[in-house]
């Protein structure tokens, strides 16, 4: 019989944070995730709140306390958001930067815009738009996602306080359709002296630039070593411009988070989805995990749902309506599906806020506002009331609510 104190469903940032927080409270925790972690698709930037009512925020915490009723930040309160970030800082360690300030950093993106974010990979740090050193962006013919000259033009036009140029170079040795993991691997291992070959290709374009930005492929296992070697040889700082999906910064974050989870004694199972559950007396008794064909019961005292939003399939839509597929939870949404969208493409679409509604203990509520199951909590993208993409709040919500859900589950 498979059983644990706390069972977390979902292996993204929210599920990982919940599992870690519960384990730190002394609970015996199992995390079950259908697919490899979605962290590998994410940019690796940790947004807390970038925009509020359409305005860019210098300090996310200036508005975290003002969110409307039902928004995940309003549910857990701004102290929980800070605590979630503290937990993140501890887990990410040297891999990340940004914890020295509460302010948003402005990170240049591969499209040449600047994006407000609370924490960013250390590999991104020398590229921040607040620095005034002259910048050279380097793209590669073979990685077409990043058009460096175009991104440089956009940045310059956006009025950044420094000179920025872009060049497209040829990445030595690799063939046209090599995957980003292949780039990272050759740089990690310095196969055939690839690092100096790369430096030779870039040097003629350096000019007076004091920092050089590359697509985010500078190593998987040893990114700091790769950057340092390139920087030493070029005599300029080296940084990555986040892009993706898929994304190496996301994969590196996945690696550290899962290593910390294993160290904390969390049992991790990926590859099989949770497909159903049994409940009695208002409590979940067990969930059913589909192992190729068999439905295997997993028992626990407390459950955390962290299956993500519309993208992660934690919320699904059909012509019948919007639903949460694992526990069949109520998802508030307009009856008429023509009311899900605004007319303008970039309007304030209601569907972006679809998700389960919860009480302040993060327990999902039914249509009448009553708690559905006493021992079930929800965290991360599956929660309703926030427009992650427009607010730039995705990771912050996962960290804050994941931590609260995990701790409360362990304490119950």
Partner 1 sequence: MSDSENFPIDVFPETEEMDLRPGADSCYKCSACDTSCPVAEVDDDFPGPKFQGPEQWRLKRKEDTSVDESVMKCSNCMRCDGACPSGVPLSQMHNTARAEYVSEEMSMLSTEYWRNRILANYGTLARIGSKVPRLTNFVMGNSLVQQVNEKFLGITAEREFPEFATETFVEWFEKRGGSTVQSEDKRVAYFHGDYANYNTPEVAKALVRVFEHYGYEVAVPDQRCSGTPMFANGMMDDARRAAKFNVETFHNLVEDGYDIVCSCTSCSMALRQEYPELFTFDGTAEVAAHTYEALEYLRIYEDVEGDLKGAKPNFPNLAYHAPCHARNQGLDGQAVNLFSELDGLEVTDVGDSCSGISGTYGWKEENYDTSMKIGEEMFEHMEDAPGETGLTECPTCAMQMGHGSGYEIRHPLEVVESALVN
Ligand X SMILES: Cc1cc2nc3c(=O)[nH]c(=O)nc-3n(C[C@H](O)[C@H](O)[C@H](O)COP(=O)(O)OP(=O)(O)OC[C@H]3O[C@@H](n4cnc5c(N)ncnc54)[C@H](O)[C@@H]3O)c2cc1C
Residue 212 interacts with ligand X (CB under 6 A)?
no
> Which of the choices ligand X, partner 1, none does residue 14 contact, using the CB cut-off of 5 to 8 A by kind?
ligand X
Site string for partner 1, 14-43 (x = CB under 8 A): ---------------------xx-x-xx-x
> Which of the choices ligand X, partner 1, none does residue 11 contact, using the CB cut-off of 5 to 8 A by kind?
ligand X
Nearest approach in angstroms of CB 39 to ligand X is: 6
Q: Which stretch, 55-63, 84-92, 100-108, 391-399, contacts ligand X (CB under 6 A)?
A: 391-399
Binding-site residue total for partner 1 (CB under 8 A)?
A: 54
Contacts (Cβ under 8 Å, ≥6 apart) of 162: 131, 132, 133, 134, 135
Residue 308 interacts with ligand X (CB under 6 A)?
yes
Q: What angle do CA 211, 216, 219 make, to 5 degrees?
A: 100
**CA–CA gap between residue 327 and residue 320 (Å, rounded):** 17
Residue 144 interacts with partner 1 (CB under 8 A)?
no
**CA–CA gap between residue 197 and residue 228 (Å, rounded):** 15
Residue 22, helix vs strand vs coil: helix
Backbone phi and psi for residue 33, each to the nearest 5 degrees, phi listed first: -130, 140
Report the residue number, 47 or 147, with the smaller CB distance to ligand X. 47
Task: Return the C-alpha torsion angle 131, 225, 42, 237, nearest 10.
Answer: 20
Residue 35 interacts with ligand X (CB under 6 A)?
yes
**CA–CA gap between residue 184 and residue 244 (Å, rounded):** 14
Residue 316 interacts with partner 1 (CB under 8 A)?
yes
Q: What is the largest CA-CA distance in the chain?
A: 72
Q: Which stretch, 75-83, 93-101, 154-162, 260-268, contacts partner 1 (CB under 8 A)?
A: 260-268
Residue 120, helix vs strand vs coil: strand
> Which of the choices ligand X, partner 1, none does residue 292 contact, using the CB cut-off of 5 to 8 A by kind?
partner 1
**Of 172, 165, 166, which is closest to residue 139 (Cα–Cα)?**
166
Please give the structure tokens belonging to residue 110: 């591969």
Q: How far lies 301's CA from each of 130, 220, 374, 409, in Å?
A: 48, 38, 10, 9
> Which of the choices ligand X, partner 1, none does residue 86 contact, using the CB cut-off of 5 to 8 A by kind?
none
Token pair 């300030």 in the structure block, residue: 101
Residues that bind partner 1 (CB under 8 A): 1-2, 35-36, 38, 40-41, 43, 110-111, 115, 145, 174-175, 177-182, 185, 221, 243, 245-246, 251, 262, 265, 267-272, 289, 291-294, 296, 310-313, 316-319, 340, 346, 351, 388-389, 392
Binding residues (CB under 6 A) for ligand X: these are 9-15, 32-35, 37-38, 41-43, 45-47, 245, 273-274, 306-308, 311-314, 326, 380-381, 394-395, 398
């Amino acid at each position: 019989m498979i059983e644990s104190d706390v069972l977390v469903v979902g292996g993204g940032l929210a599920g990982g944070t919940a599992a870690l927080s519960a384990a730190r409270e002394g609970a015996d925790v199992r995390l079950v995730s259908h697919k490899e972690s979605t962290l590998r698709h994410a940019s690796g930037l940790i947004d807390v709140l970038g925009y509020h009512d359409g305005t860019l925020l210098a300090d996310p915490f200036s508005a975290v306390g003002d969110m409307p009723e039902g928004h995940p930040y309003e549910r857990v309160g701004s102290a929980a958001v800070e605590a979630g970030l503290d937990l993140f800082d501890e887990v990410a360690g040297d891999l990340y930067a940004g914890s020295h300030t509460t302010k948003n950093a402005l990170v240049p993106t591969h499209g040449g815009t600047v994006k407000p974010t609370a924490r960013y990979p250390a590999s991104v740090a020398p590229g921040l738009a607040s620095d005034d050193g002259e910048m050279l962006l380097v793209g590669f013919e073979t990685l077409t996602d990043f058009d460096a000259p175009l991104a440089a033009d956009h940045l310059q036009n956006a009025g950044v306080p420094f000179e920025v140029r872009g060049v497209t170079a040829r990445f030595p040795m690799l063939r046209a359709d090599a995957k980003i993991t292949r780039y990272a691997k050759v740089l990690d291992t310095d196969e055939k002296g690839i690092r100096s070959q790369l430096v030779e290709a870039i040097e003629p374009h350096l000019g007076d630039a004091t920092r050089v930005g590359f697509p985010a492929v500078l190593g998987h296992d040893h990114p700091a070593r790769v950057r340092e070697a390139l920087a030493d040889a070029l005599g300029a700082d080296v940084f990555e411009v986040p892009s993706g999906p898929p994304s190496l910064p996301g994969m590196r974050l996945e690696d550290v988070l899962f290593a910390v989870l294993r160290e904390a004694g969390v049992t991790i199972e990926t590859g099989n989805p949770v497909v159903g559950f049994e409940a009695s007396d208002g409590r979940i008794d067990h969930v059913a995990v589909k192992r190729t064909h068999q439905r295997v019961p997993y028992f626990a005292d407390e459950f955390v749902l962290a299956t993500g939003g519309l993208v992660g399939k934690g919320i699904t839509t059909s012509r019948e309506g919007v639903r949460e597929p694992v526990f069949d939870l109520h998802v508030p949404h307009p009856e008429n599906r023509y009311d899900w969208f605004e007319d303008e493409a970039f309007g304030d679409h209601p569907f972006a806020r679809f998700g389960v509604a919860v009480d302040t203990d993060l327990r999902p509520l039914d249509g009448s506002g009553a708690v559905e199951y006493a021992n079930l909590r929800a965290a991360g993208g599956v929660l309703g009331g926030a427009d992650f993409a427009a607010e730039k709040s995705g990771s912050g919500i996962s960290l804050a609510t994941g931590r609260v859900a995990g701790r409360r589950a362990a304490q119950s």
